Amino acid sequence: NKSTTTQKQSQQINEPKQTTKTTITPEKSTAINFTQLNNQINIIKNNGTKDKNYSIKLIGTNYDFTDRITWDGTPSNLTLIGDSNYNTKVVLNGMNNGISMFYIISGHSITFINITIVNGRSSESNIGGAITNHGIINLINASIQNNTHVLGGTYAHAYGGAIYNTGTINSYNSVFEGNNVTTYDSKYNPMLHDHVPNADVWSYGGAIYNTGTINCNNTTFNKNSAVTSTDSVEVGSYSHSYGGAIYNNGIITIINSLLIENQAYANAHSDLFGCAWSYGGAIHNNGTITIHNTILNKNYVKSIASLDTSAGSYGGAIYNNKIMEITKSSLIGNQAYTLYATMEINSFGGAIYNRGKLSISNLDLINNSVYSKFVEFGSNNGYGGAIFTTKYMHIINTRFINNSANCDMDGSAYGGAIYTENGLKVTNSIFINNTALNKGNDIYSLNKSCNYSIENNWWGNNTLNWNQSLTNINQPQSWIYLKLTTIKNNINVTENTQVKCDFNWKTDGKNITTYKNSALDNTLITYDLTNNIGKITPITTIIQNGTGITTFTGIKSGTETINLKAYNFKTNSITNITINPLKSNTKITYITPIINPGSNITIKATITNTKQENIKQGGVVIKINGKTLKDDYGQAIKIPVTNGTITYTYTIPEDYSTKKYNLTVKYLETEQYSPSEQTINFTITKTQTKTTIETIQPINPGNNLTIKANITDKNNKPVTTGYVILKINGKTLKDAKGNVIKVNVNNGKIAYNYTIPKNYSTKKYNLTVKYMGNNQNTQSEQIINFTITKAQPTITKIETISPIKAGNNLLIKANITDKNNKPVTTGYVI
C-alpha cells in the first residue's frame, strides 16, 4: 500500500510536466510549416494566459495554408516572426484556395515581422482576401502581396483585396503589392458574364477596406486594384469601383509612404442603360485621412462603358468625400481616364477629386491629367487636370506643374490645374505649363460669383495671358514674379559674374518676406543660354529663401542671353550679358637683317595677353606697306599662333625696288581675344653681285674673240636679270651704228663673240666685263688681260709643176695655210 501511495503521489507531482505546456515554451515557440504553425496557435489559444505576449518564430520558408487561422481565445497578443537567418523570405501562402488566411477578433492583436503573406483569396462578403481584422494588426517589414477578394452576382459587394479592417492596423516599413478586389455580375468566371439584368456590383479597397484605424509609416502600396465588371442584355448594368489601394470609412494616417500605380477600374456593358464609375485610383475617403511626406505616383481611375451607358472616372489618386489633410507630399503622373459611352462620360480630377473638407499645403501636383474619349450622343467632359473640387478649398504653398485637361469628340476640357465649383483661395503657390483644351489652363471656376482669392502666386511667367490662364476668375491684383539679375552685365572673356534669380518681389513692388515652407523654395531653376558663348556653373540651382545663385563665365566675345527655366519649362525671365574679348599684344621679335629683292625674309612675333601669358589660339596676317600677303589663290595668308608665337618666311619679289617698307603683323580677333598689331620698318637693299670672266686664250688680229662670264649674287646664285658691257683697254665696245654693245644676262651667264680688228697690233690688252646692275642688283665687273699675237707660222705648199718648154709661161700655184690647215687670207708671197 505504501508503494501504491508513493506512486500516486509521484504521478501527481509529475503530472503538470506531462501537459502540453511541457512540450513548448508557452511564450516563445517555433514552427516550420503551416501544420505546426496552426497547432502552435491553437495550443496558445487553449492554454495561454491573457497577460502574456506570445511569439512564434517561423523557421521554414513556405507555409501553405489549408485552413483559416482565427486568433481568439484567452491570450490576446501574438507575434509571428520570420527567421532572419534565411536568405529567402518567409512566405505565408493562401494558395488561392478561396479562404481568407487570418481572422482576428476584437481585443486581440497579431504582429507580423519579416513575413510575406501571398495568394489569400476570399469569396465571402465582409471577409478580406488575406486578413479580416477586428482587433489590431502590426506589420513590420512585412509584404502583403497578390491577395484577392472576388465576388460575383447581381448585387455583389466585395471589401478589401488583402485586408478587411474594422480594428487597427499599424504598418511600418511594409509593402502592399498586387492585391485586388473584384466584383462582377456572374457568380462564376468574371470573364464569362451571365448577362444579368439590373446588375449592380461594387468593389472597395484593392488592398485595404477600412472602417477602423490605420497608421502607415514608410509603407508602399504598389499596383493594387479595385475592379468591377458588368454585362447586361436588358435594363441596367452598373459597375462601381472605389479605392485602388484603400477605401476608408474610418481614420487613417499615412506618413513617409508611397502609393504607386494603383487603380480603380470599372467596366459596364448594357443594351439599354447602365454606368461604369470609378473613384480614387489610390484612395477613396469617406472618413478622415491625414497624409504627410508621401508620394502618390501614376495611380489612375479608369472607366469603360459601351452601348446605352454612361461612365465617369473621379480622382486619379484620391477621391475625398469627408475630411482629408495632405501636407508635404507629391502627386505625380496620376490620371482620370474614361473611354466610350453613348450617353455621358466624365473624367474629373486627375490627381484629386474633392467633395468634402480638404486641406492641402506644400504639395507637388505634377503631370496629372484627365482625359475623356469618345461619347456618341451625350456630353464628354474632362475637368480638373490636377484637382476637381465641389467645395471651397484653401491651397497653400503648392506647385501645379504640367497638369492637363483633355477630351475628344467635341467635348469640354476645363481647368488644366484646378476646376472649382464653389470658391477657392490659393496663396504662395506655383502654376507652370498647365493646359486645358478649352478654357482655364490654370483655373476654371464654374461660378464667377463665388469667393476667390489668388493673390501672391507665381504663374510660371512674369507676364501672361490671363484670359487663357483663368476662366470666371478675375486676374490677381499682385503676383510674384521671378527677377533675374547679374552683378555685372559687361564682362571680359574668362571673367565671372554672379547671376541671381529672385522670387523676393511682387508686381506691386513689395518684397516677399515669408518663405517658411513656401512652394517657391526648392523650385528647380535651370539656366539656359541662347548663344552658348558662356558657361553657367552650376547649370541648375534650387531656390532657397526665395533666391537662387549661380556663376556665369564668359568664354567667347559677344552678347549672351540667359533664359530661366523652372522645372524645365521656359519662363520669360531673361537678361543679357555683354562679353568683351581680352586684349592681345602683338610684338615683332625678329626680321631678317639684310633683305634683297628675291631673297627670303623670316618674320617672328609673339602674341600675349595683358598678363604676358602666351595666347594659344587664333592667327595673324602679315602686311607689307598695308597690303596683305596672299597665297597663289589670292587668299590672305593666315599664320596660326602656336603657344604664343609665329614664324613665317616670305620671298621678297624680285621686282621690289630698294627702299624702306612698312611690315605689319596683325593678330586677328578671336572669340576670346581682341585684335592687335605692330608695324616696323625694314629696308630692301640691292643684292651684291660678282662678275667672273672665263679664261681667254691668245688671239690673232682679225680673229673672233669669244667672251664668256658668270654673273652671281653673294650667295653664288645666278643673277637672272640685267646686262653687261664690254671694254678693251677701257674703251667700250660698240656696234657698227656706234651703239654700246649690251649683252643680256641669261641665268647668270653671258657669252659674246667679238672680231678683233686686223689692225690691232700684237700685244697685251685689258678686257673688262661690267655688269651694269638694276633696281635689285649692284654693279660688278672684272678685268682680265689677254694677248693678241701673230698667227702661227704658215705652211706654203706649191702645187706640182709639169715640165715646160723654154719660152712658155710657168704657172705657179701655192696654198698658204695656218697651222690648223686653214687658208691664210692676208699677206703676200715673193
HSE on the CB side for 277, CA within 13 Å? 15
Residue 614 sits in the same domain as residue 737: no
Positive or negative, the CA dihedral 649, 650, 654, 657 is negative
Rounded to whole angstroms, the Cα distance separating 639 from 667 reads: 9
On whether both 49 and 65 belong to a single domain, the answer is: yes
The DSSP 8-state label assigned to residue 286 in this structure reads: S
pLDDT, mean over the chain: 89
Q: Report if residue 13 sits inside a domain.
A: no
Q: Each residue of 300-328: pLDDT tens digit?
A: 999 988 765 788 999 999 999 999 999 99
Rounded distance between C-alpha atoms, residue 260 and residue 178, angstroms = 11
Q: Is residue 708 part of a domain?
A: yes
CATH code for position 541: 2.60.40.10
Same domain, 102 and 144: yes
In a domain, 234, yes or no: yes
pLDDT band at 26 (very low <50, low <70, confident <90, very high): low
Answer yes or no: do 506 and 630 share one domain: no
Integer Cα distance of 548 and 473 in angstroms = 32
Same domain (yes/no): 572, 704: no
pLDDT tens profile 385-425: 999 999 999 999 999 999 999 998 778 999 999 999 999 99
Residue 446 in domain: yes
> In Å, how far from its chain's centre is CA 681?
55
* Other beta carbons within 10 Å of 259: 32
Could you say which of 580, 614, 640 is where a domain stops? 580
Report residue 274's pLDDT band, with 50, 70 and 90 as the boundaries: confident
List the domain range (segments joined by +) for residue 625: 584-683
Give the pLDDT band (50/70/90) at residue 345: confident
- Do 664 and 743 share a domain, yes or no? no
One domain, residues 86 and 140: yes
If one counts the domains in the chain, the total is 5
How many CA atoms lie within 13 Å of 17's alpha carbon, on the beta-carbon side? 5
pLDDT reported for residue 229 = 85
Same structural domain, 405 and 534 = no
Bridge partners, 579 (sequence order): 491, 558
Of the candidate ranges 213-222, 517-526, 819-828, the one whose mean pLDDT is the lowest:
819-828
Q: What is the pLDDT of residue 377?
A: 66
46 shares its domain with 111: yes
DSSP state of 810: P
Query: In the predicted model, what is the mean pLDDT of residues 518-530?
Result: 88
Residues 34 and 132 in one domain: yes
CA angle 553, 555, 560 (to 5 degrees): 75
| 767 inside domain | yes
Between 503 and 405, the more confident residue is 405
Q: Which range has the worst mean pLDDT, 6-10, 332-336, 477-481? A: 6-10
pLDDT in tens, 724-775: 999 999 999 999 899 999 999 999 999 999 999 988 888 999 999 999 988 7
Q: What is the pairing mode between strands 814-817 and 723-728? A: unpaired
Q: Is the dihedral of CA 813, 817, 823, 824 positive or negative?
A: negative
β-pairing verdict for 660-667 and 619-624? antiparallel
pTM for the full predicted model: 0.76
Establish if 3 belongs to a structural domain: no
Last residue of a domain, one of 554, 580, 606: 580
Instruction: For residue 699, give the CATH number of its domain.
Output: 2.60.40.1930
Domain boundary among 683, 702, 732: 683
Does 325 fall in a domain? yes
Residues 569 and 631 in one domain: no
Domain membership flag for residue 15: no
How many degrees, rounded to 5, is the angle at CA 788 between CA 784 and CA 791? 150
CA 476 centroid distance within chain: 36
Beta carbons of 571 and 564 less than 8 angstroms apart = yes
Instruction: Assess whether 667 and 538 both reside in one domain.
Output: no
